[in-house]
C-alpha cells in the first residue's frame, strides 16, 4: 500500500533556529515528491518538487533533500521566522497516475519568539 510517513508529528522551535523535518515513503513506482506548507484553514502551498534524479532543491530558506534509494526526504528550514509556523506536508506521486497524490499527515511546526 502506498504510504507517506512524516516525523516528528509536531515541533516547537525558537525564532532564528534551524530545523529538519523527515518524510519516508513507500509509494511505487515513484514519480516525484513535493513539500507543501499549509497554514491553518488555508490551502497547501507548494515549496519544492523533486524527481528521482534530484537530490536537493532549495526555495529561499527551505531546502529539500531526496534519497530515492532509501525512499527518504527531508525539509530543512534555516533561520526560522514566526511566519514559518504551519503544517508541512510531504506528498508523493506515483508514475501511473492512478494515485494522483499520496499525502503524509504533516508536521505541525510552531516557531516561538
Is position 42 an interface residue for another protein (rule: CB under 8 A)? yes
Among 19, 94, 109, 111, binds another protein (CB under 8 A): 94
CA atoms of 71 and 39, how far apart (whole Å):
26
Is position 65 an interface residue for another protein (rule: CB under 8 A)? no
Euclidean distance between the first and the last CA atom of the chain, given in angstroms as a whole number? 41
Is position 46 an interface residue for another protein (rule: CB under 8 A)? yes
Of 13 and 52, which has the nearer Cβ to another protein?
52
Is position 43 an interface residue for another protein (rule: CB under 8 A)? yes
Number of neighbouring beta carbons within 10 Å of residue 102: 18
Is position 92 an interface residue for another protein (rule: CB under 8 A)? no
Is position 19 an interface residue for another protein (rule: CB under 8 A)? no
Q: Regarding beta strands 19-25 and 72-77, do their DSSP bridges make them parallel or antiparallel, or are they unpaired?
A: antiparallel
Amino acid at each position: 500500500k502506498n504510504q507517506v510517513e512524516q516525523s516528528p508529528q509536531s515541533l516547537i522551535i525558537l525564532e532564528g533556529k534551524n530545523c529538519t523535518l523527515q518524510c519516508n515513503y513507500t509509494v511505487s513506482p515513484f514519480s516525484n515528491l513535493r513539500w507543501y506548507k499549509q497554514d491553518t484553514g488555508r490551502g497547501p502551498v507548494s515549496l519544492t518538487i523533486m524527481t528521482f534524479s534530484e537530490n536537493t532543491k532549495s526555495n529561499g530558506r527551505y531546502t529539500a533533500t531526496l534519497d530515492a534509494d532509501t525512499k527518504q526526504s527531508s525539509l530543512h528550514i534555516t533561520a526560522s521566522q514566526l511566519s514559518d509556523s504551519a503544517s508541512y506536508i510531504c506528498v508523493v506521486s506515483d508514475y501511473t497516475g492512478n494515485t494522483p497524490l499520496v499525502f503524509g499527515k504533516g508536521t505541525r511546526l510552531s516557531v516561538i519568539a
